[in-house]
């Protein structure tokens, strides 16, 4: 048996293996050369198109922004899916022949693509048109222009349009809140796009999902305190009134007196949030929250309440307002006419400036100031609306007699419509001004919030003032046209000369009505402002009171608030019916039918 190989036989074996290896290498080399020729010459066109056709991309998958609804879930702002057309400039630059077709379909001027792409040569993304109709999107894709693709997005739609524009606000093209509740709640409404690695073809279509990096997160839905039915009613009546009285602008606010919730808030002029071209300056402003004015006579109930609270007066205390004016220092305070000797209640009913001034001059400035402040005057409403001013109530320490007098009938202090509505809501309840809210609030939350306020006015004074305010809408009152059949209304007119250019301007007025209903068990407070009416009439009693009446009548009915003129037993029956309706308790008869065989 051979135990070792000779050197010769070894040499022979090496040579044989080398030849074999060289042979394999040669074949491999030739194969590679052949492959190179194959790829570069024969398959070139195919491979080039394939190479261009697939890209690994990190794409974002949009999620929808939260919905804004009214208090009953009716939509006020919704996001609907739409397509946006985008392009990869590097590719689109190559297909010049398709530009004109694209421009036509997208409604772009000719040569606008040339301009758009000019300085985008090194970019990979440019929007051609945001939010196109499904029809346009389909036709764009049918063109199959390399580098042009669709990106899914969401478009904000406002079903209530102009009716809720100032409250709801709107978003910009990037879905970011710009105004109103869209701005206030942007952090909660906004969505977070998901991220995924995908492979796309040259038309931008996804051919393969590689990996999801993060899931899309839709925004939170938010319900507002607004009631769309009341909102619409207020809108319709205000718009008609501003037009018929040839007024500059106007506002209406309705609040729930027990919770501070804003149930309706409208302004004129308004705008359509779905179509924001041709906006005039001022159209965007939510005047009811942002614009301050001197409240004039609508402030008198608080002056009277302060007087009652001292114990020196009651509703029937006589006040001499003769001869229709009062000299305070070098100034003269005037009434509309000489009312003679009247009682405190009649100061409210007729709206006597002299009467209010006499009451104010007989009580301490500090107490008058405290009373005003205790119902929230001179502070913001707490609504959180962007740009709400605090209102103005100057310190009583600086009041001279003339200021004590004029402040008593509403001049030298300023409020917004919302702040005035809030003060009337305090008057309607226990004197504590619940902060205003654009979102729903229940009675328990309201009770908790009211513990932060110290009432200055007693139940007795509040009840007495509400009684006086009821005489305003009765015969001989300045606001008879605010009456609502079947209901007791407590309210106050105001006709305010506007201040401008260093003095009070003739023929430039605010017509006001502020009130609460039903007077026997108040539920709603409402303020109506008609700014610079230029028709025949301009008094609050003539211009604002009828608007109050129409809106309040509808609101009471829509909210199933029973008339307070009904005998107490009938009223209880109505309330019982409602609670049965709301609790959806099975009707006994239905239950019995259900048991039948």
Which of residues 195, 497, 523, 571 is near ligand 59J by CB under 6 A?
Answer: 497
Stretch that binds ligand 59J, among 128-136, 242-250, 496-504, 576-584 (CB under 6 A): 496-504
SS3 276: coil
Is 168 or 421 the residue whose CB approaches ligand 59J more closely? 421
Closest to ligand 59J by CB, 501 or 594? 501
Give the per-residue contact string, 295-314, with ligand 59J (x = CB under 6 A; - = no): -xx-----------------
Looking at beta carbons only, is 296 or 301 nearer to ligand 59J? 296
Q: Which is nearer to ligand 59J, 406 or 429 (CB)?
A: 406
Enumerate residues 353-382 that contact ligand 59J by CB under 6 A.
353
- Contact between 504 and ligand 59J per CB under 6 A: yes
Report the nearest approach of ligand 59J to the CB of residue 565 (Å).
Answer: 25
Q: Tokens in use for 149?
A: 């693709």
Pick from 154, 158, 235, 411 the residue near ligand 59J by CB under 6 A.
411
Q: DSSP string spanning 159-173?
A: TTGGGGHHHH--B-T
Determine, following the binding rule CB under 6 A, whether residue 349 of this chain makes contact with ligand 59J.
no
Site pattern 546..565 for ligand 59J (x: CB under 6 A): --------------------
Read out DSSP for 221-271?
PEE-S--HHHHHHHHHHHHHHHHHTT-SEEEEEEEETTT-BEEEEEEES--
- How many Cβ atoms sit within 10 Å of the Cβ of residue 221? 16
Q: Tell me: does residue 325 bind ligand 59J (CB under 6 A).
A: no
Residues 6+ apart with CB under 8 A from 135: none
CA separation for the pair 440, 432 (Å, rounded)? 19
Closest CA to 301 of 551, 553, 544, 525: 525
Does 406 bind ligand 59J (CB under 6 A)? Our answer is yes
CB-based contact 354:325 (threshold 8 Å): yes
Q: Is 495 in the site for ligand 59J (CB under 6 A)?
A: yes
| Distance, CA of 78 to chain centre | 13
The nearest distance, CB 296 to ligand 59J, in angstroms, is 5
Q: Which is nearer to ligand 59J, 296 or 562 (CB)?
A: 296
**Nearest to ligand 59J of 222, 551 (CB atom):** 551
- Asked if 339 is part of the footprint of ligand 59J (rule: CB under 6 A), the reply reads no
246 CB-near residues (< 8 Å, 6+ apart): 533, 534, 535
How far is it, in rounded angstroms, from Cα 88 to Cα 83? 16
| Residue 347 binds ligand 59J, judged by CB under 6 A | no
If the CB atoms of residues 446 and 483 are measured against ligand 59J, the closer one turns out to be 483
Which region among 89-97, 355-363, 457-465, 493-501 touches ligand 59J (by CB under 6 A)? 493-501
Q: How far is the CB of 529 from ligand 59J (least distance, A)?
A: 12
Residue with tokens 């100034």: 331
Between 116 and 544, whose beta carbon lies closer to ligand 59J?
A: 544
| Region of 6-14, 52-60, 116-124, 487-495 interacting with ligand 59J (CB under 6 A) | 487-495
- Interface pattern 114-143 for ligand 59J (x via CB under 6 A): ------------------------------
Q: Which of 440, 579, 523, 554 is nearest to 72 (CA)?
A: 440
How far is 151 from 192, CA to CA, in rounded Å?
Answer: 16
Dihedral class, residue 73 (left if φ above 0, else alpha if ψ from -120 to 50, else beta): left
- With b for 16 or more beta-carbon neighbours within 10 A and e for fewer, the 168-180 pattern comes to bbbbeeebebebb
In whole angstroms, give the CA distance from residue 333 to residue 317: 21
Tell me whether residue 317 or residue 508 sits nearer to ligand 59J (CB atom).
508
- Distance (Å, whole) CA 30 – CA 210: 37
Quick one: which segment of 62-70, 243-251, 492-500, 518-526 binds ligand 59J (CB under 6 A)? 492-500
Helix (H, G, I), strand (E, B) or coil at 17: helix
521-540: which residues touch ligand 59J (CB under 6 A)?
539-540
The answer for residues whose C-beta is within 8 angstroms of residue 5's C-beta and 6 or more apart is 13
Interface with ligand 59J, residue 487, by CB under 6 A: no
Catalytic entry in 79, 191, 225, 297: 297
**Site membership for ligand 59J, residue 493 (CB under 6 A):** yes
Q: Which of 224, 333, 469, 484 binds ligand 59J (CB under 6 A)?
A: 333
- Is 95 designated active site? no
Q: How many helices (H) and strands (E) does the chain have?
A: 23, 19
Residues 425-484 that bind ligand 59J (CB under 6 A): 478
The catalytic site residues sit at 297
Residues making contact with ligand 59J (CB under 6 A):
296-297, 333, 336, 351, 353, 406, 411, 478, 493-497, 504, 539-541
């Amino acid at each position: 048996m051979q135990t070792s190989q000779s050197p010769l036989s070894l040499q022979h074996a090496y040579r044989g293996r080398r030849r074999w290896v060289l042979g394999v290498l040669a074949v491999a080399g030739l194969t590679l050369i052949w492959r190179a020729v194959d790829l570069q010459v024969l398959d070139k066109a195919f491979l080039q198109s394939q190479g261009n056709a697939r890209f690994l991309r990190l794409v974002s998958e949009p999620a929808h922004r939260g919905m804004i609804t009214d208090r009953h879930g009716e939509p006020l702002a919704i996001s609907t899916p739409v397509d946006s057309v985008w392009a990869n400039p590097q590719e689109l630059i190559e297909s010049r022949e398709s530009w004109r077709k694209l421009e036509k379909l997208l409604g772009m001027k000719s040569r606008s693509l040339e301009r758009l792409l000019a300085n985008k040569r090194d970019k990979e993304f440019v929007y051609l048109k945001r939010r196109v109709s499904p029809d346009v999107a389909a036709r764009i894709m049918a063109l199959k222009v390399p580098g042009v693709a669709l990106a899914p997005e969401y478009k904000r739609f406002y079903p209530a349009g102009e009716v809720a524009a100032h409250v709801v606000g709107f978003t910009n093209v990037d879905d970011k809140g710009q105004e109103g509740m869209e701005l206030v709640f942007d952090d909660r409404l906004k969505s977070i796009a998901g991220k995924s690695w995908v492979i796309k073809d040259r038309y931008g279509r996804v051919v393969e999902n590689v990996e999801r990096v993060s899931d899309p997160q839709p925004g939170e839905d938010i319900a507002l305190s607004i009631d769309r039915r009341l909102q619409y009613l207020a809108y319709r009546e205000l718009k008609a009134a501003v037009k018929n009285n040839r007024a500059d602008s106007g506002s209406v606010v309705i609040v729930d007196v027990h919770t501070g919730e804003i149930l309706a808030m409208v302004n004129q002029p308004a705008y359509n949030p779905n179509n924001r071209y041709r906006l005039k300056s001022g159209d965007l402003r939510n005047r009811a929250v942002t614009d301050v004015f001197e409240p004039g006579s609508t402030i008198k109930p608080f002056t009277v309440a302060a007087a009652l609270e001292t114990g020196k007066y009651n509703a029937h205390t006589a006040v001499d307002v003769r001869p229709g004016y009062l000299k305070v220092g070098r100034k003269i305070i005037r009434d509309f006419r000489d009312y003679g000797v009247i009682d405190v209640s009649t100061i409210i009913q007729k709206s006597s400036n002299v009467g209010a001034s006499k009451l104010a001059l007989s009580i301490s400035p500090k107490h008058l100031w405290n009373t005003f402040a205790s119902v929230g005057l001179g502070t913001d409403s707490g609504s959180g609306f962007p740009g709400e001013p605090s209102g103005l109530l100057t310190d009583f320490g600086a009041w001279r007699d003339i200021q004590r007098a004029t402040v008593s009938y509403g001049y030298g202090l300023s409020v917004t419509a919302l702040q005035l509505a809030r003060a009337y809501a305090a008057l309607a309840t226990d004197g504590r001004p619940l902060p205003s809210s654009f979102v729903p609030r229940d009675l328990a939350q309201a009770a908790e919030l009211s513990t932060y306020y110290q009432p200055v006015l007693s139940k007795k004074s509040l009840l007495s003032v509400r009684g006086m305010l009821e005489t305003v809408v009765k015969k001989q009152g300045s606001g008879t046209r605010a009456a609502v059949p079947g209901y007791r209304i407590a309210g106050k007119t105001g006709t305010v000369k506007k201040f401008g250019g260093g003095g009070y301007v003739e023929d430039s007025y605010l017509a006001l009505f502020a009130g609460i209903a039903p007077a026997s068990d108040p539920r709603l407070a409402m303020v109506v402002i008609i700014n610079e009416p230029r028709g025949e009439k301009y008094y609050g009693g003539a211009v604002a009171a009828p608007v109050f009446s129409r809106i309040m009548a509808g609101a009471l009915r829509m909210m199933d608030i029973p008339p307070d003129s009904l005998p107490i037993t009938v009223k209880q029956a109505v309330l019982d019916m409602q609670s049965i309706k709301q609790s959806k308790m099975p009707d006994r008869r239905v239950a019995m039918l259900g048991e039948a065989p």
